[in-house]
Amino acid sequence: MDELPIGRRVAYWRGRRKMSQQVFADRLGKSKSWVDKVERGVRRLDKFSVLYEIADILQVDVQLLLGRDPERRTDALNCIDQVEVQEIRAALERYDSISAYFDAAPCPPPLDDMRKAVNHAWLTYQYARYGVLTRALPKLLRDAQAADAAYRGDQAPVAAHLLGQVYQIASSVLRKLGENELAWLAADRALAVSQRAGDPLLAGIATTRVGGALLALGRARPALELTVNIAQRLAPSTSADLRPGQLSVYGMLLLQGAMAAARLGDSATVNDLLDGADEAARLLGGDDNQYWTCFGPTNVLLHRAAAAVELGEGGRAVEADEQIVPDNFNALLPERRAHHLLDLARGFAQVGDLASAGETLLKGDRLAPSEIRCRPIAHEVMSDVLRRTRGAPPSPIAELAEHMGVGI
């Protein structure tokens, strides 16, 4: 995009922010005609004060508008920026496998090195270090794609398995950060590659990523139908099916289906799916991290709270939280705990307990700043808390809002 005139860059980022010319003009204090002329290159944009104001409204580094590489800011290390988004997009747009079909395969990284890198990426995600992960993802995607394209024979399923995991990691973090279309693309790729890996459980957990991406895009019905359909295919029917991996993947499919049903307002289906997941967790015997799921009795309770919030029943979410054993909760990895605290903050806000909602956001921020400061849903909760709080908010809340970029 460097070769584009500055007006075209403004139009591009305005479109990415889903902002009409009129809305953009209103926020800028200009006329719609002025914006249109700038974007068409009829009017020059040569005042730095205006450029910085435009960059602020579009939430991009001003250097991007100038066609230069943006300066890295130390205060933004926990969040994704548009440079990472474009690099991840470029990596997802590669088609090494079809190129290797016609030409000699590229020199791939050793599979042992890839396995270590993928495991590290999973842990980086589960520790909610999203900025670190998004900066590492483009290279990890390229390496995993090269390995999948190059390895043959017995090594081919191993390489496909690793690439399927990398696509799942990409989908998960992109959905967290509000890049839902890219999250869907990565999840869809994960599902396709997982089938080549010959691992039904990897394909099953990839299905939860597709369901999550569909849900983020407002496609709750397809998300519900997909996850329940695959859950039924993986449902334990014999003692041989009671392996921890199968129970975990099956349970996560039910939990993802419950979240989709909650978005549809179908409380009966929500309860049925949560009860099924609870039974799988009981058979599992405790919290585990098979296939990087963190599935178990505690995660089921976390999803009971999350589903209640989606149904608009914040009081039930608070009740579900009270059933969680603190030691079991504290044993979960930071992403799961901070995600739950964000859901709980939403529940408190629904019942009008704004003080508890704000305090819960603070707890989540202390545990995993990226989960609170970088997620669009967290910004919505903070905005709600600030809007409905009478008088000035407590200073810790005001400070966190400032760090998040949420106006008071």
Which tokens hold the place of 396?
Answer: 């810790």
Domain ranges for the chain, please list them: 6-65, 98-196, 199-330, 333-408
Q: How far is CA 385 from the centre of its chain?
A: 23
Give me the CATH topology for the region 6-65: 434 Repressor (Amino-terminal Domain) (1.10.260)
The pLDDT of residue 347: 97
Asked whether 311 and 260 are in contact (CB, 8 A), the reply is: no
How many whole angstroms separate alpha carbon 307 and alpha carbon 259?
6
Burial 333-342 (b: 16+ CB within 10 A, else e): bbbbbbbbbb
Number of Cβ atoms within 10 Å of the Cβ of 325 = 11
- DSSP-derived secondary structure letter, 173: H
**Residues ≥6 apart with Cβ < 8 Å to 45:** 6, 7, 10, 38, 51, 54
pLDDT tens figures, 185-202: 999 999 999 999 999 999
Residue 77: predicted pLDDT? 41
Dist CA 405 CA 59 (whole Å): 10
Which of the residues in the chain have pLDDT under 70?
1-4, 68-78, 80-82, 95-106, 408
Q: Are 175 and 374 in contact (CB under 8 A)?
A: no
**CA dist., res. 185 & res. 47, Å (int):** 39
> Under a CB-based contact definition with an 8 Å cutoff, are residues 204 and 247 in contact?
no
Which residue type is seen at 338?
A
In this predicted structure, what is the pLDDT of residue 75?
Answer: 39
Whether the predicted model's global pTM rises above the 0.85 cut: no
Q: In this predicted structure, what is the pLDDT of residue 86?
A: 80
Residue of 226, 313, 213, 233 lying closest to 267 (CA atoms): 313
Alpha helices in 151-199 (DSSP H): 155-176, 180-196
H helix count then E strand count, the chain: 23, 0
SS3 content of the chain, % helix, strand, coil (to 5): 75, 0, 25
133, amino acid identity: L
pLDDT digits (tens, 9 = 90+) for 280-333: 999 999 999 999 999 999 999 999 999 999 999 999 999 999 999 999 999 999
E strand residue ranges, 290-384: none
Residue 106 pLDDT: 58
Q: What CATH class is the domain 199-330?
A: mainly alpha
Cα–Cα distance measured from residue 321 to residue 308, given in angstroms and rounded to the nearest whole number: 11
Task: Kindly give, in sequence order, each residue whose CB lies less than 8 Å from that of residue 263, ignoring residues fewer than 6 positions away.
Answer: 215, 220, 223, 310
Query: What six digits make up the tokens of 227?
Result: 């996850």
Please give the angle made by the CA atoms of 18, 79 and 356, to the nearest 5 degrees.
90
Tell me if 220 sits within 8 A of 243, measured CB to CB: no
The answer to whether the CB of 250 falls within 8 A of the CB of 282 is no
